[in-house]
Amino acid sequence: AILKQDAGSPLTVEDLLEMYAKEDYLLTWSCINSCAYVTLKLDTSNIAVLRAIWQAAWLEDNHTSYSDLDSVSILNMSYLALCEQSDLTEEVVEKFGWNLAESFMIPEKASRLLRQ
């Protein structure tokens, strides 16, 4: 689901839950810090982690191209770009040599990762 908000409106938890209803994670983007924040559901799948990383990487690579947009708009754009990646499946990435069963470290308890 795409978020429908007025420019500059605050992003609520309800908005994120609606947007990511079909995902096993929530992702927010701070235009101020140019930083993605990801929360994973307990017992999430490796493909969900891959999708979250893909979306965060898209934001990292593209946010400067859309510096005139607010966080909600750029978050929507990144999610649409992710949804267009129909080939982002375990079978496809494993075909390129990625072993998802051993590639990601999904924490057993709450943790925080920060990329600077």
Q: What is the pLDDT of residues 47-106, one digit of tens each?
A: 888 889 889 999 999 988 877 777 788 888 999 999 888 777 777 777 877 777 765 555
Cα→Cα distances 101→40, 47, 56, Å: 17, 10, 21
pLDDT at 103: 56
In the predicted model, is pLDDT for residue 37 greater than 60? Answer: yes
What average pLDDT score do residues 23-45 get?
86
Handedness of CA 35, 39, 43, 48 (dihedral sign): negative
Burial label for 93, CB within 10 Å (0-12, 13-18, 19+), is middle
Q: Work out the pLDDT band at 114, boundaries 50, 70, 90.
A: very low
How confident is the model over 15-33, as pLDDT tens digits?
A: 888 889 999 999 988 877 8
